[in-house]
Structure 1
Amino acid sequence: MPNSYRVSARSAAAPDAVYRLLLSAGTWPLWSPIDAAEVENGTDPGRLARVGDTRIFRTGRAVSRERVVELVTDRRFGYEIVGGRTFRSYRGLVELASDGRGGTTVTWSATFQPAVRFTGPFWEWFLTRFMRRMAAGLAAHAVASTAPREPDAGSDPMMGI
């Protein structure tokens, strides 16, 4: 029987802004507990993900290889862990829904089977806590990345005229 978790966060940013961050592996260390991200085969981590891309995330000594398996523009981002010894199967899904106020409800969930029997409850507890941080960081960074930027203090806005 598979284990699972489900967490949610709200962002004042629109779904398209949140979705763009999910697609760009290079942004993940900016808004999550992940230390480093790259796309397998040397693809630019700033490039927007495509179905079939394998992305490598490092957090401390832990390394996760994740393949993008589903993309629905501004609504859904699906992935699965490939290789590794921690899980026999792991399928994650990030769903984005307009909250009716110009923002987005981010729901991050997964079903998985641990490789080691009887560790499911631990992984549910651990992943719920970790993914709560992921969802909250994504929601907050989407707002920050879409906020209007102030001109530099020393710049003169009339210089280009």
Structure 2
Amino acid sequence: MGDDVRKYLALFYPQVSFRGTAFGGTSARSPFTGAEINEYARTKSCRTASSSTAPSTNRDAARIHSQEPSTMHKYDVTVTTSASPEIVWKLLVDAASWPLWSKVDSLDTTRSVGLDPGGDDCVGAVRAFRTGRTVTGERLTEKVEQRLLAYEDAFNSSMRNYHARIELTPTATSGTVIHWYGTYETSRLLGWVMPRYLQKFMQGMAEGLARYAEESKPTQ
């Protein structure tokens, strides 16, 4: 089992890590050092009995990855902007605006479903966003005008059972507190890098929204 894990982390994992080719990156190197790979293989071997012959292809390694037990993770970010909840809300419900302020590259309209031409997507709409060569779909599940936007994964190759909520709270100075948080499951191996990466990624999403909303404020 130790050799199986070493092959996965050294050969297949670079493709599915966030710097790897499966997420739009160009790196073919494992994000783990040799010492980290050996240590994980050693502890994994202690927990798991020996199995059949080690896989010799990336397809076999992918099969092992898909059979890994899932682990629940979360992210939680809060940002305050001087823009009003009304301005922030208009950006959130308009999927076409997301590439202007977020870390996604573009809105994939061919894989999206039920987008509102007027920029006010309703519950049930699936918004497909492309980042690099990866496209993920998010289905809106709840809307409370200028207060709450919730969504879940419609299709996502790196996680499952993903549920996110964006809560807007007005401040005493007519600004907005943006509270963006979510939970998701991923494999134990992806769990090595996903929580740290996604926390930082979503922090950047919230900060981008806050900045763009401020720039969109009407001039006095």
TM-score tier by shorter-chain length is: 0.7 to 0.9
Work out the percentage of aligned pairs sharing the same amino acid: 36
Structure 1 segments of 4+ aligned residues over 6 angstroms from their partners: none
Q: Which blocks of at least 5 consecutive residues in structure 1 are unaligned?
A: 150-161
Aligned equivalent of 1:155: none
From 108, 125, 131, give the equivalent of 2:196.
125
1:84 and 2:156 correspond: yes
TM-score, normalising length: structure 1: 0.84
What is the RMSD computed on CA atoms of the aligned residues? 1.8
Normalising by structure 2, we get a TM-score of: 0.63
User: Which structure has the larger Rg?
Assistant: 2
**In the TM superposition, what are the counterparts of 1:11-160 in structure 2 within 5 Å?**
11-39=81-109, 40-41=112-113, 43=115, 47-114=119-186, 116-148=187-219
Q: 1:6 to 1:13 in 2, by over 3 A?
A: same
CA distance in 2, matches of 1:35, 1:119: 23
Please state whether the residue corresponding to 1:140 is helix, strand or coil.
helix
For each residue in 1:79-127, what CA deviation from the matched residue of structure 2 results, as whole angstroms up to 9, or x when unmatched? 011123211210011111112211001011000001x224335211111
Give the helix-richer structure, 1 or 2: 2
For each residue in 1:29-72, what CA deviation from the matched residue of structure 2 results, as whole angstroms up to 9, or x when unmatched? 11011110145247456521100000000111121100000101
Q: Cα distance, 1:2 vs. partner?
A: 2.1
The answer to whether structure 1 residue 8 and structure 2 residue 46 are counterparts is: no
Provide, for residues 115-151 of structure 1, a one-character-per-residue CA deviation record: whole Å limited to 9, x for no partner. Answer: x2243352111111111111001011111112329xx
Following the alignment from structure 1 to structure 2, what is the Cα–Cα distance between the partners of residues 110 and 41? Answer: 22
Count of matched residue pairs: 148
The verdict on how the C-alpha distance between 1:70 and 1:42 changes in structure 2, with shifts beyond 3 A counting, is closer
Q: Which has the higher contact order (CA 8 A, sep 6+)?
A: 1
